[in-house]
Structure 1
């Protein structure tokens, strides 16, 4: 039996394999995005103020995080705000997130 993580997305709860989540999080930029969203929702501009990444590359990483069910996007006029999904925030302990199969900890 493969370890899985239940993620409550916008529409329903989805079981995702830990391996697929860890594969998405294996990228340093995506990890940095997740870390920045621990402090609350942010626009692309706010995320990029911290990460200083090419905007198209940041969009690619945000899309990968959304497709993995880790991040949500909410439109605010011409801008979009990104946030960690509520089920991840519920398993947050300080600067760490319990992924079920392991704990993702930021120092």
Structure 2
């Protein structure tokens, strides 16, 4: 199934496969990062305070989410702030995100 969410795994028509999106979100830590960002942008320290993950591992997951187009990063001097990508924010309904192929809900 194809989604109209244009972020990762795009084919030449700009479509994204649901499997590509879900593959990135299948990791428990990445999913927790997305959930943490539902409430708005967070610094790495703020994300790590709620997840308590090894800093280098968190960095790896944030990079994967950023490369997938699911989150964005904004530099603030030596620090960085992460937020959900605008494509996800536009499709957000409360604590759920419509991925086009399915809805990702957080309780």
Shift of residue 16, structure 1, vs aligned partner: 2.5
Distance in 1 separating the partners of 2:4 and 2:69: 10
Shift of residue 76, structure 1, vs aligned partner: 0.3
- Residue 75 (structure 2) aligns with: 75
**TM score, norm. by length of structure 2:** 0.89
Q: CA contact under 8 A between 2:97 and 2:104: conserved in structure 1?
A: yes
Coordinate RMSD, CA, aligned = 1.6
- Deviating beyond 6 angstroms after TM superposition, the runs of 4 or more aligned structure 1 residues are none
Shift of residue 65, structure 1, vs aligned partner: 0.3
| Greater fraction strand | 1
Q: Mark the runs of 5 or more structure 2 residues left unpaired by the alignment.
A: 8-13
- Residue 10 (structure 2) aligns with: none
Figure out how many residues of one structure are paired with residues of the other and give that number. Answer: 102
- Residue 43 (structure 1) aligns with: 43
Q: Mark the runs of 5 or more structure 1 residues left unpaired by the alignment.
A: 9-13
Mapping 1:80-91, distance limit 5 Å: 80-91=80-91
- Residue 2 (structure 2) aligns with: 3
**TM score, norm. by length of structure 1:** 0.89
